[in-house]
Amino acid sequence: MKRVYRALSLFGAILAIGTLLFHRIEQLGWFDAFYVTLLSITPLGHGLMPALSGAGRELNAFLLVCGVGVVGYAASIATRFVFEGEMGKVFWRRRVEKRVERMEDHYIVCGYGRVGRIVVGELDHRNVEFVVIERSEEAIAERTAAGADVLVGDATDEKTLETAGVRRARGLVSALESDADNLYVTLTARGMNPTLRIVARATDDAAARKLKRAGADRTVSPNIIGGREMAQHLLMPAVIDFLHLATGKENLDLEMREIHVAEGSRLAGIAFADSPIRREHGVIVVAANRPGGETVFNPDSEFVAGGGDTLICLGRPDELLAMDRLARGKG
C-alpha cells in the first residue's frame, strides 16, 4: 500500500506542477492548464495538444518524460497489486483487524518464534480468544499457510499494540527474541493498560529483574526452566510425570485449572465440607490463593473460600467447567 500511495503521490505532484506552469507560461485558465498537463503526461493525447510556445513545448517534453516514467511505475505497482496477491493481502489484513476490533478480554502474543508457537498452541488448546503479532515474513507465511490469523506489524510499536486491542485485553505474552524488545513491549503495554497481566520472556536473571521493574507480572527464561526440568526428571521423575499428566494437553482425562470465586457464589463463605466441590464435582483443590497474596496449600475441609479467592483445582475437564460456572455464580 505504501508503494501505491507513493505512485499516486508522484502522479498528483506532476499534475499539480504541470497545471501551475502551463497556467503561467501559456496564460491558460486553470482547467485548460490541467487538461493540457493530462495530455502531456498521456502519450495518446498528443494529437489533441493545442499550439504551444517554445517554453510550452519544452515543458511538454519534460512532462512527457516524467509522466511516462510515473505512469509506468504506477502500472507496475497496480499489476503486482492485482496479480501477485497484494490485493488479497490487504483485504486479509483488514479482515484480521476487524476481527480483533470485536475482541474483549482476549490475549495478545507478541512474537511467533520458538516460544511463541508453544504459547499459541496452549491458547488454542484452551479455546480462548487471542491475537498474534509478528513481523517476520517467514513466520507470517507459516501461520497463514495453516489457515490462522496473524496481525502483521512490530510489537514494539504502540500503534500495533493499539490495533491488537491492548487496552481491552486480559493478558499479553512478550516472546520476542531480544530482551530489549521485550522490555520495550512491557513498558509500552503497561502504560496503555495498567491492569493487563504481562508475561515476558527473559534470557537471564538480570533481564528478568529489568522486565519486572518495567511492569511484567511474570518473567520466564526458557533456558533456566529447561535446565531445571532436566534435573528434576533425573531426581524426581514420578513427580514430573504427574505434573505433565495434569497440565499437558496430551491428557484428555485430567486437567489443572484456576477457579476464581466470585462474591455471592455457592462456593463463597462456606467451608469445603459443606460445599459441593468434592460432593458434587469430585474436584481436588490443590491450593487456594487469597487476594492479599497468601497461599494455602492443600486446604482442609474446614477451609472457607471467600469472594476473590483463586482455587487451584485438579479434575476432569467437564467437572472443572461445572465448578467454574458455580464459582462465578452461574450454577
Residue 167 pLDDT more than 90? Answer: yes
Share of the chain above pLDDT 90, in %: 19
pLDDT in tens, 64-105: 777 777 777 777 776 666 555 555 556 667 777 788 888 889
Domains along the chain? Answer: 2-83 (1.10.287.70), 103-225 (3.40.50.720), 251-327 (3.30.70.1450)
Predicted confidence at residue 214, as pLDDT, reads 92
* E strand spans, 221-326: 255-260, 284-289, 295-297, 310-315
Is the pLDDT at 330 greater than 70, yes or no?
A: no
> For residues 253 and 307, is the Cβ–Cβ distance under 8 A?
no
Q: pLDDT digits over 186-222, tens only? A: 999 999 999 999 999 998 889 999 999 999 999 998 8
Q: Which range among 153-167, 207-221, 275-289 shows the weakest confidence by mean pLDDT?
A: 275-289
pLDDT band at 246 (very low <50, low <70, confident <90, very high): low
Q: What is the pLDDT of residue 186?
A: 95
What pLDDT does 25 receive? 83
The residue that leads in pLDDT, 120 or 56, is 120
Q: What is the mean pLDDT of residues 226-254?
A: 73
Residue, of 254 and 16, whose pLDDT is higher: 16
For the chain, strand residue ranges (E) read: 107-110, 130-134, 151-152, 171-174, 197-201, 218-220, 255-260, 284-289, 295-297, 310-315
Beta bridge partners of 295: 289
Determine phi and psi for 218, rounding to 5 degrees. -140, 150
Q: Cell for 210?
A: 529489568
Across 171-178, average pLDDT? 93
- Among 25-34, 90-99, 299-308, where is mean pLDDT lowest? 90-99
pLDDT class of 47 with cuts at 50, 70, 90: low
